[in-house]
Amino acid sequence: MDRDSHCTEERELLEAVSRITTFSTTSPSDEEENQPKAEISCQVRKENPEKDDTQDCNATLSPNSSMTTKELQEYWRNEKRRCKQVKLLFEIPSTRIVEHHLSKYVMYKIIILQTGSFDSNKSVIERRYSDFEKLHRNLLEEFSEEMEDVTFPKKTLTGNFTEEIINERKLAFKDYLRLLYSMKYIRRSKKFIDFLTRPELQEAYGCLRGGQYTKALEILLEVIGLQERLTKGNPVSVVPTLCAIVVCHKDLENPASAFEYGEKALSRLHMHTSHRYYIPLLETMITLAYELGKDFLSLQEKLEEWKTKKDPIRVFTLKELAVREYVQ
């Protein structure tokens, strides 16, 4: 391809990205039409969350003119995928009673589904009444106005383990989660996302620190899909989890899988080279690429370029960073 053709192709790609931006900002919202009609009710500010989410996404559409044609194509594909808001459904199909020496409580099985998806896109977690109660208290601290008319199932002195009470709470908690998710500021909040992902991540990192890489990997692969769907507008937030998956695969001597997830993490840090995971990830990817017979020179160039721009500082290895996550 001659230079003029190459430049023409890059201009066409940039124009296409611009058209996507224009189309996305004028797309109508149907989120308010689909808000749940639950017994738990709330007066929510008049807003257009889906449009706001899309606008936030469009704010990040800034393709660098120095990108190669291949990089522009990949950037365009990623932005198109990211600008589509993910909608989630919450179901609580079953419960189980847990008894320890000095305690007894009900665990609620929560299935989180992406609308229009198949079973492969569902996530399954378990939470108890006290977990929901803690979430409610935390949200009231930050979103008192939004939560003003949200009711929460109260504890009873007796009958907490009867079938009637448990079934009532199953329905109430399902409606509660749907309602919280329908409010833009709450579904984006760290407190809401932590409620749905943090216990599993804490368990996974605990296994990683204990050298139980197979168990850690199993949990991380379960939670990463949900974490990505919950943080669709903030892809950098899942980098630590992706890097933990890289560490597990690498220690389990699965370099190809480690490299695959490393590429996913690196793509999310393309515009965030000051991120604490960027250099440790680059160094790990160079090692993996060399081991797999892949192109490691381009990665080495990025590393050297970063070093010339930054003052020399002590950088942890990828594994050292991973084991520090979720330390109590």
* 3-state SS string for 30-71: CCHHHCCCCCCCCCCCCCCHHHHHHHHHHHCCCCCCCCCHHH
Give me the domains of the chain, ranges plus CATH numbers.
Answer: 87-188 (3.30.1520.10), 199-324 (1.25.40.10)
% pLDDT > 70, the chain: 71
What is the reported pLDDT for 241?
Answer: 98
More confidently predicted of 244 and 29 = 244
Residue 11 pLDDT greater than 60, yes or no: no
- Average pLDDT rounded to a whole number, residues 142-167: 87
What is the reported pLDDT for 75?
Answer: 64
**Closest to 161 measured CA to CA, from 125, 127, 124, 128:** 128
End-to-end CA distance of the chain: 56
- Average pLDDT rounded to a whole number, residues 243-250: 98
CB neighbour class for 224 (10 Å; exposed up to 12, middle 13-18, buried from 19): buried
- Average pLDDT rounded to a whole number, residues 184-190: 94
Maximum CA pair distance of the chain?
80
| E strand or H helix at 110 | strand 104-114
Read off the pLDDT band of 28 (50, 70, 90): very low
* Measured CA angle at 309 (ends 304, 311), to 5 deg: 100
CB neighbour class for 57 (10 Å; exposed up to 12, middle 13-18, buried from 19): buried
pLDDT in tens, 196-215: 999 999 999 999 999 999 99
**Dist CA 240 CA 209 (whole Å):** 14
What is the reported pLDDT for 93?
Answer: 96
226 and 117 Cβ atoms separated by less than 8 Å: no
Predicted TM-score of the model (pTM): 0.74
**Dist CA 20 CA 18 (whole Å):** 5
Mean of the per-residue pLDDT values for the chain?
81
What is the reported pLDDT for 219?
Answer: 97
Residue 98 pLDDT greater than 90, yes or no: yes
More confidently predicted of 58 and 223 = 223
pLDDT in tens, 34-92: 444 334 444 344 344 444 454 444 444 455 555 667 666 666 666 555 545 568 999 99
- Average pLDDT rounded to a whole number, residues 235-256: 97
What is the reported pLDDT for 42?
Answer: 41
What token pair was written down for 169?
A: 């709470």
**Most confident listed range (10-19, 57-66, 242-251):** 242-251
pLDDT in tens, 275-326: 999 999 999 999 999 999 999 999 999 999 888 877 666 779 999 999 999 9
**Closest to 288 measured CA to CA, from 321, 236, 245, 228:** 245
